[in-house]
Amino acid sequence: MEDIIKELEKRREQAKLGGGQDRINAQHSKGKLTARERIDLLLDEGSFEEYDMFVEHSSTDFGMEKNKIPGDGVVIGSGQINGRLVFLYVKDFTVFGGSLSLAHSKKINKIQDMALKNNAPLIGVLDAGGARIQEGIDSLGGYSEVFQRNVLASGVIPQISLIMGPCAGGDVYSPALTDFIFMVRDTSYMFVTGPDVVKTVTNEEVTADELGGADVHTTKSSVADGAYNNDIDMLSDIRRFIDFLPSSNIQSAPIKETSDKASRSETSLDYLIPENSNTPYDIKEFIIKAIDEGDFFEIQPNFAKNIVVGFGRIEGYTVGFVGNQPLNLAGVLDSDASRKAARFVRFCDSFSIPIVTFVDVPGFLPGTDQEYGGLIKNGAKLLYAYAEATVPKVTIITRKAYGGAYCVMAPKHLRGDINYALPSAEIAVMGAKGAVEILYRKDIGDEDKIDKHTSEYEERFLNPFVAAERGYIDDVIMPRNVRPRIAKALKLLRNKKLSNPWKKHDNLPL
Amino acid sequence: MFRKILIANRGEIACRVIDTCNKLGIDTVAVYSEADSRALHVMKAKESVNIGLAPSSESYLVIEKIINACKNTGADAVHPGYGFLSENASFVNQLEREGITFIGPPSEPIRVMGDKIESKIFAEKSNVNIIPGHQEIIKDSEEALEISKKIGFPVMIKASAGGGGKGMRIARAEEDVEDAFNSSVNEAKSSFGDDRIFIEKFIEKPRHIEIQILADNHGNVIHLGERECSIQRRNQKIIEESPSPFVDEKLRNEMGEQAKRLASTINYASAGTVEFIVDQDKNFYFLEMNTRLQVEHPVTELVTGIDLVEEMIKIASGEELKLRQDDIKFNGWAIESRIYAEDPERNFMPSTGRLNSYITPINIDNIRNDTGVYEGGEISIYYDPMISKLCSYGKDRNEALLKMEIALNHHYINGIRNNINFLTAIIRNENFISGDINTGFIDVEYPEGYRPFVNDDKFALLFAIAGTYLYTIDEFRLRNQNRNNSFFEKSLVAVIEDSVFEFKTYDRQDNLIIEYNDEVITIDSSYEPGKPLASISINGEEYHFKIEKIINGYNISSYGFSSDVKILSKRAYELSKHMIAKDVRSNEKIIKCPMPGLVVSIDVNEGQEIDIGDKLCTIEAMKMENVIRSEVSGIIKKIHCKGGDSLASDEIILEFS
C-alpha cells in the first residue's frame, strides 16, 4: 500500500511537470504561462480538482508507443471562481504541443459532459498545435466529438474559450461554437489554415499575427470578443466576466451586493445629448452611469463600433446592454453591427439576462457594399433576435429612431416590455430633410416652402409625442433618471413569464 | 446705481460677476455664443442673449453685438470680465456714445497701458522702474539679433500687443533669436492681428509680483497689496498667492506707491493691476499694467475681505471709494490654483471635451471655487481651457497650503486631461513650500516635464495599502456570498512600477485585517465601490485618494502622484515575471493630433531622418501654437496633412517608417 502511495506521488509529480522543465522554460520565454499556472490564476486558490491526470494516448504508429506523457496534452477538472463552480479544460502546449489525440479528446469530452450534467460553465483554454497527425482519423473524430458536445451545451451552460497560444485547423471550431472567445495579444492566433499553407495556395505572404492575431479577430473578423495584453490580465478579467454570467440556463447570475443606490440620478446626463441632433455623443456614458458602480464588461469593443454591447448590473442583477453609438457612423445599423448585437441579444435571451436597449439610430446604412453583403438578412438577424427574446426588454429612445431601424431596435411592437423615450427622442420614418423632399417633391427648389415644410415636419414628428400618444412609448423620462427608471422597470419585470410557441428549433436567417 | 448689468464674458468670470450683482440686487444679462448655449453663466443670469457663432471673433469679440444686446435688454452697464473686450479702448468709447457705462477704467489708460511700448514710456515718465531694453519696433530677425546682442543675453522677445504668454519667447543665445522672433511674430499675428515685436533684458530668476489697485473718479487711489504669480507654465500663471512670501512691508510699500503713482498719473479709475518683475535682490521693474479685473483677483479678496467686483461696479456708477489706504488690512494667506483642461504630461497640451465627472471640493471650510462649468458640461475648443480657480485660505501660508492640498485631493475630473495632480505636486514641492520660487520654477523643478508616478517611499506604501484595501473590499464581496466558510486568508502583492509590497489579508466575516511586514495595519474607511473618491484612514491618519478601476488593480491619484497599483495574488506575482512588457514604441510610429486644431506648419518632409526632440509640426489650438516634437528617432514615412488643415483629436498627422 505504501508503495502505491509513493508511486502515486511520483506519478503526480511527473504529470505536473507536463512536457518537462525545458518545455516549460520555452513556454515562459514566449511570455506564456503553463496550463497549470493558468489554472492557478483562473480559479480560486486551492479549488482545482483535476481528473484524468494519468491518461495516456494509445497510439502505436510512428514510434508513439515509446513516447507517452501522462495527461496527454490537456489538463481537465473543476474548480471555483469567486466561490462558483466551473469546469475547464486547459491545453498543455508543453506536451506534444497540446495536439489533440483520441485520449486527449476523450478527456475534453469527459469535462464537457460533466459541465453539462452539472449545469456549470465550461471554460476551454487553447494553446495547441492542432490535430495529432500520428493519430490520423482518430484525431479528426475526436474533434467532431468535441464539437458535438459544444453544440449540445450551447444555450444550456455558458461556454467560454480563451485563446492563449496557437489555435489552428481543427482547434478553431470548438471555440467558434462557444459563446465567447478571448485572445491574448502577440502570443495567440487563430486561423483555419496557417501562413505556410496560405503562401503555397495563394502565394500571399502573411505573418501569423497578420492572419489571425488578437487585433485581427477583435477588429476585422469579429471572431473574438476581447483581447488582453498578457495571460495574467486575461485570467484576472475573465474571473470578473464569469461573475456576470449565470451558471446555466436554469440558474440566475449571482447578485452582487452594492451600495450604489437604484435611485441615483445623474444630472450630467441631461446635458449628454447635444442640442444639434447631428452632433455625436457617447452612448456608453448612458450605460456606464446607469449601471452599478460603472462596472461595464463590453463585448467586442473594437468591432462594429456603431453599436455597443456588454454586461452591467442594476441593483446587483446582471443586465445585457445594447446601444447604438452615435460616435461611430452616426450609430447607423449595418451588417456588422446587426450581427454583433443579434448574437449578444440571443446570448442574453438564452440565459435569461434582461436586455436594456438605448436607441439612437438614423436607419440602416445604404449602399452597394451593404446590400451586396446581405444587409437584408444581417439586419433581419437582429430583428429576429429581439422578436424572439422572451426576457425582460427595456428600451430607451435617446434621440433618433428612424424608419426600419426603429422597427428593429426593441420597440413596443417586438414585445418590448417597457419603452421609454427621452425628451430629445425623434421617432419618425426618416429625418426632416429626407421626408420633406419626398412629401413635397414639387416644392424642391423653392427654399422658403421647403424650410416651412421642414419645420412643420420637425414640429410634428421629431419629438416623442406622436409615439407616446399611440402608446408605443410608455413614458417620456428625463435623462438624469435613466438609472432609477431602468431599475424600477427591471424590478417589476423580475417575474416576467413569456414563452414562444413550441418548435423543434427556430430558423434564424443565418 | 445700475439696474441691469450685462456681462460681456463667459465662463467662471461671468458667473463670478453675476454673483456680486445678485448680492447687490442688480439684474444680470449673460451673452453667449452658440457653443455656450448650455453654459453655467447662461443658467445663472436672469436673462441671456445669443450673440453668434462659436469663434469669439464672431461673438464675444464683436462690439456691435454686445451693444445691441445691451439695448435689447435695457442693460445700463457692461462688465467685461477679463480677456475678450476688457481692454479694448474702442469698446469703451462706443459704449460711452450709446450711453452705456463700462465697468472699468476710462479708454485712455486702457489704450496707453494696452501697448507694451507706450506703457513703458509712460511708466518711465511717471518715475516707475522699468527694465532695460529696446522699445522700438523691430522689423526682422536680423535686427532682432543685433539688438539682442546689444542688450546682452538672455533677452525676451515679445509681441507688442501680447498678453497671457502669447507671442512671447526667450532667446538665451544668438542661435535662438531667429526661431524665437519668428514664433513671436506668427503668434502675435494670429492672436492679436498685430505682429509688432520688441526686445528687452531677460531677468534671471525673476519673480512675478503684482499690485492690486483701486482708483475712483474722485482722485482716490489705494493699493490692496501684492499677489505673487511666479508659478507659471508657458508664461501663464497657474498658482498665485497673496501675500507673497518674498515681499516685506518695505517692498510692499514701495511697490504700492509706484503702482498708485502710475494709476494717478494716468487718471485711472476702477480696479487695476500693476505687474512687476522682482529680481533676487528685491529690485522691481514695471512689466505692464492690466486695466481690468485679473483672473487671480480672488486671493486679494480673501486676504482683504474686499469684493473687487462690487468696488468696480460702485466706482463705475460714480461712487467715491469709501476705503482709504489705512483701512486696508491683510489677514491670513490665500492661494489660488488654476485648474486647466490640459495635459501636464504632454507639454501642457490643451484638452477638450465633456466633463464626464466633475466633483468639486465645495464642502470644505475656507475653500472658494470659482468655476464656469458643471458635471456634464463641455470644455470647448474655442476658448481658454481653464476649468476653475480653486482658492484656499488659512491663517498663515502653511495652513492655506494644507487646505489647498486637501481640496485638490477632493477634486475629481474625468473625461478631460487636467492639471490637478501637477498642481498638487507643486503645492507639495519643498522649494515651493519654502517660498523659493521664480518664474522659471516649473522648468527648473520639472525639466523633463511632470511625471506623476509615485516616487516617494512613504506614498508608494500608502498607495499600496490603499490598493490592497480596495481590492479586498471589492473582491471579497462576491466571494462572501458564494462561500460557506467565513474565514479567509490571502497573500497579496501590490506592484507599483518596480516597487513591490507584500500583504497578508484576513477576512473574518465583517472584520478585515491587512498585515504588512507582520504588523497589522489599522484601516478605516467608508469607501463605496464605484465611487471615485475614498478617504481611508491608515494607522490613524486619514488620506484621500482618487480611484479608477483597471484590470488587476486601480489607478490611484492624490498628493501629486498618479500610479497604477496592480494587486496580484502571490502566485500571480511570481508568474508575472514571465510576462513580456508590451512594446509601446510601435504606437509612437504614428503621430496623432493631440487635440482638435489647425495645422500651422509641417516642419518635416517625407523620407527625412528625425532625431528625438526634433520639431515635427505646429498645431494651433485654443489660440496657442503647440509645437509637436518627435519622441523617437526615425525616418518619416508619410505625412497625412498639410498646413492649413483642420484636424480632429487623434487624427493622424504623420507616420514614421
Stretch A415-422: mean pLDDT: 97
DSSP label of B416: S
Over A132-144, what HEC string results? CHHHCHHHHHHHH
Which of A45, A241, A260 to probe by mutation at the B interface, max B CB count within 10 Å?
A: A45
CA distance B238 to B232: 5
Q: Does the pLDDT value for residue A506 go beyond 80?
A: yes
Pairing state between β B270-278 and B207-215: antiparallel
To the nearest whole number, what is the mean pLDDT of chain A? 94
A7 in contact with B at a CB cutoff of 8 Å?
no
Stretch A399-421: mean pLDDT: 96
To the nearest whole number, what is the mean pLDDT of chain B? 90
pTM metric for this prediction: 0.89
CB distance A484 to A428 below 8 Å: no
Q: Does the pLDDT value for residue B506 go beyond 90?
A: no
Percent pLDDT > 90 in chain A is: 81
Q: Where are the beta strands (DSSP E) in B471-540?
A: 487-496, 499-508, 511-516, 519-521, 523-525, 533-538
CA distance A256 to B479: 10
Percent pLDDT > 70 in chain B is: 95
Residue B510 or B15, more confident: B15
Please choose, from the candidates B346, B140, B325, the residue with its C-alpha nearest in 3D space to the C-alpha of residue B224: B325
The distance between the two most distant Cα atoms of chain B, rounded to a whole number of Å, is 87
- The answer to whether the Cβ–Cβ distance between B551 and A233 falls below 8 Å is yes
Q: Which residues does chain A have within 8 Å of residue B37's beta carbon, measured at their own beta carbons? A: 275
- The answer to whether the Cβ–Cβ distance between B477 and A256 falls below 8 Å is yes
Q: Does the pLDDT value for residue B479 go beyond 70?
A: no
Query: Which residues share a beta bridge with B180?
Result: none
CA distance A157 to A78: 14
CA distance B627 to B631: 12
pLDDT per position as a tens digit, B71-96: 999 999 999 999 999 999 999 999 99
Q: Does the pLDDT value for residue B510 go beyond 80?
A: no
Number of H helices, E strands in chain A: 19, 17
* Residues of B designated as active site: 288
Q: Does the pLDDT value for residue B485 go beyond 60?
A: no
Stretch A461-485: mean pLDDT: 94
**Closest chain B C-alpha to A470 CA, distance in angstroms:** 32
pLDDT band at B460 (very low <50, low <70, confident <90, very high): very high
- The answer to whether the Cβ–Cβ distance between B530 and A260 falls below 8 Å is yes
Q: Does the pLDDT value for residue A412 go beyond 90?
A: yes
Query: Which residues share a beta bridge with B155?
Result: B171, B201
pLDDT per position as a tens digit, B226-253: 999 999 988 899 999 999 999 999 999 9
- The answer to whether the Cβ–Cβ distance between B580 and A230 falls below 8 Å is yes
Q: Which amino acid is at B522?
A: T
pLDDT at B411: 96
> Beta-carbon neighbour count of residue A63 at 10 Å?
9
pLDDT at B487: 57
pLDDT per position as a tens digit, B176-200: 888 888 888 888 887 777 778 888 8
Peptide bond before residue A166 is cis, with ω within 30 degrees of 0: no
- The answer to whether the Cβ–Cβ distance between B530 and A294 falls below 8 Å is yes
Find where cell 410608455 sits. Answer: A474
CB–CB contacts below 8 A, A to B: 102
pLDDT band at B64 (very low <50, low <70, confident <90, very high): very high
pLDDT per position as a tens digit, B545-594: 999 999 999 999 999 999 999 999 999 999 999 999 876 545 567 888 87
pLDDT band at B627 (very low <50, low <70, confident <90, very high): confident
Using a 10 angstrom Cβ sphere, with 0-12 exposed, 13-18 middle and 19 or more buried, the burial of residue A182 is buried
Give the CB-side neighbour count of residue B157, counting CA atoms within 13 A. Answer: 36
Q: Does the pLDDT value for residue B465 go beyond 70?
A: yes
Instruction: Give start and end residues of each alpha helix (H) in A409-464.
Output: 432-439, 447-461
Walk me through the domains of chain A, giving residue ranges and CATH numbers: 2-242 (3.90.226.10), 267-425+463-492 (3.90.226.10), 431-462 (no CATH)
How is B75-117 classified by DSSP, letter by letter? --EEE--SSTTTT-HHHHHHHHHTT-EESS--HHHHHHHHSHH
Q: Does the pLDDT value for residue A258 go beyond 60?
A: yes
> Taking CA atoms, what residue in A is nearest to B40?
A271
pLDDT at A134: 85
A47 in contact with B at a CB cutoff of 8 Å?
no
Please choose, from the candidates A280, A300, A304, the residue with its C-alpha nearest in 3D space to the C-alpha of residue A373: A304
CB distance B325 to B225 below 8 Å: no
Using a 10 angstrom Cβ sphere, with 0-12 exposed, 13-18 middle and 19 or more buried, the burial of residue B3 is exposed
pLDDT per position as a tens digit, A64-108: 888 888 899 999 999 999 989 999 999 999 999 999 999 999 999
ipTM for the predicted complex? 0.92
Burial string for A361-400 (b: 16+ CB within 10 Å, else e) reads: bbbbbeeeebeeeebeebbbbbbbbbbbbebbbbbbbbbb
A41 in contact with B at a CB cutoff of 8 Å?
yes
Q: Which amino acid is at B480?
A: N
CB distance B341 to B385 below 8 Å: yes
- The answer to whether the Cβ–Cβ distance between A232 and B572 falls below 8 Å is yes
CA distance A352 to B616: 55
Using DSSP, state whether B201 is helix, strand or coil.
strand
Using a 10 angstrom Cβ sphere, with 0-12 exposed, 13-18 middle and 19 or more buried, the burial of residue B34 is middle
Q: B331 to each of B213, B293, B296, B444, B629, how far by Cα in Å?
A: 17, 21, 17, 32, 46
CB distance A238 to A444 below 8 Å: no
> Taking CA atoms, what residue in B is nearest to A259?
B528
> Beta-carbon neighbour count of residue B347 at 10 Å?
16
Strand order in the sheet with A226-228: A49-51, A74-81, A84-91, A122-126, A159-163, A180-184, A226-228
pLDDT per position as a tens digit, A14-61: 888 988 999 999 999 999 999 999 999 999 989 999 999 999 888 888
What's the distance, CA B26 to chain centroid? 30
Stretch B13-28: mean pLDDT: 98
Residues 163-202 of A with CB under 8 A from B: 185-186
Catalytic annotation present for A169: yes
**Among the listed ranges B126-135, B263-272, B308-317, which one has the minimum average pLDDT value?**
B126-135
Residues A50/A255/A324/B412 CA torsion (nearest 10 deg):
-100
Pairing state between β B101-102 and B77-79: parallel
Of B529, B579, B582, the CB nearest to A231: B579
- The answer to whether the Cβ–Cβ distance between A293 and B529 falls below 8 Å is yes
Q: Does the pLDDT value for residue B505 go beyond 60?
A: yes
Q: Which secondary-structure segment (H or E) carries B359?
A: strand B357-359
Burial string for B230-256 (b: 16+ CB within 10 Å, else e) reads: bbbbbbbbbbbbbbbbbbeeebbeebb
A251 in contact with B at a CB cutoff of 8 Å?
no
- What is the grid cell recorded at A202? 495563394
Task: Give me the catalytic one of A214, A405, A428, A487.
Answer: A405
Stretch B34-56: mean pLDDT: 95
pLDDT per position as a tens digit, B392-444: 999 999 999 999 999 999 999 999 999 999 999 999 999 999 999 999 999 99
Task: Give me the catalytic one of A129, A165, A170, A312.
Answer: A170
Q: Does the pLDDT value for residue A357 go beyond 60?
A: yes
CA distance A416 to A407: 11
Of A82, A237, A270, the CB nearest to B376: A270
